[in-house]
Amino acid sequence: MGSRKTCLDKAASSAKENVMLKLRYLPGVVTLELDVGKCVGCGMCAVVCPHEVFTVADGKAVLCDRDACMECGACARNCPAEALSVRAGVGCATGVLIGMLRGAAPACDCSQNKDCC
């Protein structure tokens, strides 16, 4: 898999290189969950995540920036140990994008969170 960067290394180098990393969603509403006990440390989540939410340290996946997750589901679909879960297509990122496309206000599936859309 090559050399792996720590969360701090990734944040310092990638923020300059990747416009996608500048996109932020509402804090604390992402449905992404990591079961470290199931993780086998393969690093596939870090490879497929477009927002570099993950890194691998000490043989396990680590969530570097959970709130950067756009809930696309690539990590969960590619995890051979089923250590990741995310409700792809239901969160704030989807709500914002659908709202933009329809010319309407964002509407996501987190209505129980008063700080959300």
CATH number, domain at 31? 3.30.70.20
Residue 2: the pLDDT is: 44
Residue 94: the pLDDT is: 67
Asked if residues 32 and 89 have their Cβ atoms less than 8 Å apart, the reply is no
Q: How many domains does the chain have?
A: 1
Domain carrying residue 30: 7-86
Q: DSSP letters of 31-51?
A: --EE-TTT-----HHHHH-TT
pLDDT along the chain (117 residues), means of 10: 56 52 69 96 95 94 90 93 86 70 71 54
Is residue 103 assigned to a domain?
A: no
Phi, psi of 57 (to 5 degrees): -140, 135
Residue 101: the pLDDT is: 82
